[in-house]
Amino acid sequence: DADVTQTPRNRITKTGKRIMLECSQTKGHDRMYWYRQDPGLGLRLIYYSFDVKDINKGEISDGYSVSRQAQAKFSLSLESAIPNQTALYFCATSESGQGGTQYFGPGTRLLVL
């Protein structure tokens, strides 16, 4: 079984709709992250969480919110989806401490019409 899972894997929604992307991990890591991937732009950090009580904005958090329901679960919400949020979204986890390897989920492909 995969250590980091994301649901759904693909999603099509309409402008203005609220959607939630979910991430679960079985690695026992404290730190979790949400990234967005766009062609030619690499991976950009949306939000990150040290632990259940600690959530921080990344470089592109506008239009997004997150919830850390448990150590193993980290959800990303688009409150009112817009077409330029069409992208590939990745969840990742890592151990505490500097220079810890980040482990990525398989991604969610989101299309906002």
Partner 1 sequence: GENVEQHPSTLSVQEGDSAVIKCTYSDSASNYFPWYKQELGKGPQLIIDIRSNVGEKKDQRIAVTLNKTAKHFSLHITETQPEDSAVYFCAANMNTGFQKLVFGTGTRLLVSP
* DSSP-derived 3-state class of residue 73: strand
Candidate residues 19, 21, 24, 31; the one interacting with partner 1 per rule CB under 8 A? 31
| Extended strands (E) in the chain | 4-7, 10-13, 19-25, 31-38, 42-51, 54-57, 64-70, 73-78, 87-94, 103-104, 108-112
- Residue 24's identity, in one-letter code, is S
The yes or no reply on residue 112 touching partner 1 (CB under 8 A) is no
106 binds partner 1 (CB under 8 A): yes
Size of the site for partner 1 (CB under 8 A): 26
* Binding range to partner 1, per CB under 8 A, among 60-68, 70-78, 79-87, 97-105: 97-105
Which of 8, 83, 100, 113 touches partner 1 (CB under 8 A)? 100
The Cα-based distances of 82 to 28, 41, 78, 104, 113 in angstroms read 34, 19, 9, 25, 8
**Nearest to partner 1 of 38, 79 (CB atom):** 38
Query: Given the rule CB under 8 A, which residues bind partner 1?
Result: 4, 31, 40-45, 48, 50, 56, 58, 90, 92, 94, 97-107
